[in-house]
Amino acid sequence: MAKIEKKIAKKVDNNGILPVYEDGYATFYKKQGEDFRVLQLTDIHFGVGILSKKADRLATNAVIELVERTHPDLIIVTGDNVYPIPIFSGTRNNLKESKYAGELLEKFGIPWTMCFGNHDTESYAKVGRKELLSYYSSLPNCLFTEGSPDDVYGVGNHVVVLKNADGKKNTAFVMLDSNMYLTNSFFSTFDNVHDDQIEWYKGEIKKLSEGGDLVQSLAFMHMPPKEYRDAWEKLKMGHTDEVTYHCGTIAEKNDHVGFSRRKEGHFFEEMVKFGSCKGVFCGHDHLNNISMTYRGIRLTYGMAIDYLAYPGIRKKYTNRGATLITIDDAGKFDVKLVPLTTPVEVYE
């Protein structure tokens, strides 16, 4: 097979909509009559080590192609930008890996933000979440920030606001740290969004809604709430009165959904009661890319990019890509899968 040449990232033409800062929030004003375009990328898994050179070229090319194809107004990365697992990447230097990811995303000239995944800061990685937040937030086009107070769990919980051309609030994008593991070990089961993060979320939406209707919000996190599994099981059993299927599938072995076994997982139930959240977008399970509506909330797995973390993942190209969210003046949003669809012979 011929050597795969790494593409060169460059500025991407889009609507040219740049955020302004109002009341402490990065705020976009959408163009009247035109959809606002959000591209969700997830689980890129840059290794940037001696063992991951080919995987990194492929992942870089995938990101460039997907951004150039979709021309988004905003890019949101839902975790696991990097993979500091030495036996796969050849390094535990997650700061070096994160700088590679950040420099690539900056080259598009498009505003972007993110939330952390479980692999961005493993217990043995070089730096922790605070250090990575400090790096990412220093980049000119990156909106990633520590929006929640220090006493709220997680790092990098923050809100980005979308307004219509007339100034009316359209949608709040809420980025949440779904945290890592119950202990420092991958084998201890995953963590999730904590109750104080939920209360912070509701407080931010109430503040944005003062003097008007409850502002619609979309939540972005790395690991899925357990209701992704519940909705999928109901859908398989034909309960289409309870779950609406939109697109995609669950392709993990044994229909695996990597939610937390931590008992205090109240996010979905609280969002149903609260009424603001209309969609949740996650990553984490690289072969899952389903989008379905359950109890009034659209649950979507973003298409992953990973060429490194799963054994044999390079050949499983049908689940590789991105997810495009378009939002109109009324706040109605649509979700479309954007598969990379690179021919299988590339990986052989």
Tens of pLDDT, residues 228-280 = 999 999 999 999 999 999 999 998 889 888 887 766 679 999 999 999 999 99
Residues 207-234, mean pLDDT to the nearest whole number:
95
Distance CA 48, CA 347 (A): 19
What are the pLDDT digits (tens) for 282-299? Answer: 999 999 999 999 999 999
What's the pLDDT band for 6 if we cut at 50, 70, 90? confident
Q: Domain map of the chain by residue range?
A: 20-347
pLDDT for 27-63, tens place per residue? Answer: 999 999 999 999 999 999 999 999 999 999 999 999 9
pLDDT at position 197 over 90: yes
Residue 44 burial by Cβ neighbours in a 10 Å radius (0-12, 13-18, 19+): buried
pLDDT the model gives residue 319:
87
CA-wise closest residue to 174 among 29, 326, 97, 280: 280
**Given pLDDT bands bounded at 50, 70 and 90, which one contains residue 188?**
low
CATH architecture of the domain formed by 20-347: 4-Layer Sandwich (3.60)
CA distance 122 to 136: 17
| pLDDT band at 145; cut points 50, 70, 90 | very high
Mapped onto helix, strand or coil, the DSSP state of residue 186 is helix
Which pLDDT score is estimated for 323? 98
Q: Which comes out higher in pLDDT, residue 78 or 260?
A: 78
Indicate whether 344 pLDDT > 50. no
Please give the mean pLDDT across all residues of the chain: 92
| pLDDT band per the 50, 70, 90 thresholds, residue 345 | very low
Helices and strands: H and E segment counts in the chain = 7, 14
